[in-house]
Amino acid sequence: MSQPVFFAHANGFPSGTYGKLFAALAPEFSVEHLEQHAHDPRFPVNDNWLNLVDELLHHLRERGQPVWGVGHSLGGLLHLHAALRCPELYRGVVMLDSPVLGLTDQWLIRLAKRLGFIDRITPAGRTLGRREAFESLDAARAYFASKQLFRRFDPECLEAYLQHGLRQEGETFRLRFDPATEISIYRSIPHASPRPARLLDVPLAMVRGRQSRVVMPHHGLQARRLRRGEYLSMPGGHMFPLEHPLETAALLKTLFERWSQGAGMHAERRP
């Protein structure tokens, strides 16, 4: 019987974009997910992502058994905060280029919100005014392929983003993930956590893309300070799960199998 994985996506990237990664986890693991976080009117975006964590917990409670929680960027932090609140819902958590924030990080975020420069330290500023509509799929493909963020995507993952990240309206293709919601998520990034992360009592791995500018080496120290935390790295940048989906799936399988056997590690590993 396959083991359940609950995946949470990065901001702006519907879960269908990660289909190649999900397929590579089968048959040992079956992946469940929300197609788009933050789009359920019952759980509107608010400060510190409290409602978004509630949304995730709502769906985890419906499952009836603990899961392996895997999240990319936004999704990693959602799983961390959910596991801090309800560890009984988890077998373990993997944060893919998602930082375990320290007190200094949280202080800076709080200050940025208060003084109005949060758009400068998150991608919110770059998201403002971004192109939302395209006259054809070919035009959208050419546009995204030219952007730095997408340049190293696995070709199948780029096609999956075009399929799941856009919706057709007449003859126009428009972003499916609401841009205003995406910006709101960036602006409300948590400056506090439900409990100190060091109290997390399930295994956690924070995996950094080696060229990432989101997760920095000092975040690795925060991960290693957890009771059952570890810090790993993978080739690629912030989007490495969509640049190297098969390698990411292999790493996840290794982690889950090792954790299932009860082995714990606290040093950085480089698979």
Condensed to tens digits (0 to 9), the pLDDT of residues 96-113 reads 999 999 999 999 999 999
151-171 pLDDT, tens per residue?
999 999 999 999 999 999 999
Determine phi and psi for 122, rounding to 5 degrees: -125, 170
On the question of pLDDT at 198 being above 60, the answer is yes
Contacts of 2 (CB under 8 A, 6+ apart): 26, 27, 28, 29, 30
pLDDT for the residue numbered 126: 80
pLDDT for the residue numbered 268: 41
Q: Which residue has the higher pLDDT, 266 or 233?
A: 233
β partners of residue 151:
none
Helix residue ranges, H only, 71-228? 74-85, 103-115, 118-121, 124-127, 137-145, 155-165, 179-187, 217-224
pLDDT for the residue numbered 209: 97
Confidence tier at 266 by pLDDT (50, 70, 90): very low
| Domain of 52, in residue numbers | 1-271
pLDDT for the residue numbered 17: 98
On the question of pLDDT at 271 being above 50, the answer is no
Report the alpha-carbon distance of residue 174 to residue 126 in Å, rounded: 18
On the question of pLDDT at 269 being above 90, the answer is no
Please tell me whether residue 131 adopts helix, strand or coil conformation: coil
pLDDT for the residue numbered 255: 97
Compute the average pLDDT of residues 10-36. 98
Q: Which residue has the higher pLDDT, 260 or 126?
A: 260
pLDDT for the residue numbered 264: 43
pLDDT for the residue numbered 64: 86
C-alpha pair distances (Å), 95 with each of 68, 120, 252: 11, 24, 10
* Closest CA relative to residue 191, chosen from 71, 82, 103, 78: 103
Contacts of 220 (CB under 8 A, 6+ apart): 206, 208, 231, 268
Sign of CA dihedral 92, 94, 95, 100: positive
On the question of pLDDT at 267 being above 60, the answer is no
Based on the number of CB atoms within 10 Å of its own CB, is 100 exposed (0-12), middle (13-18) or buried (19 or more)?
A: buried
CATH number at residue 102: 3.40.50.1820
Confidence tier at 129 by pLDDT (50, 70, 90): confident
Q: Please count the residues of the chain.
A: 271
C-alpha pair distances (Å), 150 with each of 57, 114, 124, 159, 257: 30, 32, 17, 11, 31
pLDDT for the residue numbered 154: 98
Determine phi and psi for 171, rounding to 5 degrees: -100, 5
Mean predicted lDDT score pLDDT of the chain = 94
Number of independent structural domains in the chain: 1
51-82 pLDDT, tens per residue?
999 999 999 999 989 999 999 999 999 999 99
